[in-house]
Amino acid sequence: MDNLGIPFSDFLSHIFKETIRADAEMQLLQRQAWIELNKELRLAQGLNLGEGLGQLEYLGLNEVRLTFWAEPVRPGFWSRLKRWVRSLLGKPEPVAKLMYDISSGLRAEKSGFNIAVTVSRGQDKKYTIKSEPDEKELGDVYVTRLVA
């Protein structure tokens, strides 16, 4: 289990990319729907809704907030036994990574902590991502798996 997991920063990077991809797809679909609706109304009633299409280019969300529950994962029996035997022989191993399973929603009955990730688009149409607790505080955290 020592080699499993990805750094939390890679997990955040993946969320960031997927959010941008979903937003871009939503914008394309909205634009296509607007054009199709305009065609139908122009043919049926002579209305032209396409005049404001440039102003309505970004109808998508400006902020997406995701909340996760990080639950610590204890190293497996054989990993702990190996570490114990090596320490008895005077060959200590490096400290184990902090491994966590990530699940959606709050699980108050279990040990762990809450993580809030916010991806937002500013007025300059640039994306930013931030997490609470901050990514720097979670630098030594590794995500082992996502739990539904």
Q: pLDDT 10s digit of each residue in the chain, 148 long?
A: 445 678 888 989 998 999 888 888 888 887 787 778 777 777 666 666 666 555 555 556 788 888 888 888 877 788 778 878 888 888 876 666 778 888 876 666 678 888 889 998 888 878 888 888 888 888 788 888 777 6
> What would the DSSP string read from start to end of 42-79?
HHHH----GGGTTTTS--S-SEEEEEEEEEE-PPPHHH
From CA 115, how far away is CA 119, in angstroms rounded? 13
Q: How far apart are CA 16 and CA 94, in angstroms?
A: 31
Tokens of 84: 């114990």
Give CA–CA dist 85/83, Å, rounded: 6
What is the distance of C-alpha 8 from the center of its chain? 10
Q: Of all helices (H) and strands (E), which one includes residue 123?
A: none
Q: What is the structure's pLDDT at 46?
A: 65
Bridge-based pairing state of the strands 98-104 and 113-121 = unpaired
DSSP string, 2-50: TT--EEHHHHHHHHHHHHHHHHHHHHHHHHHHHHHHHHHHHHHH----G
pLDDT at 1: 42
Contact 104, 148 (CB under 8 A): yes
Q: Coil, strand or helix: which one is 132? A: strand
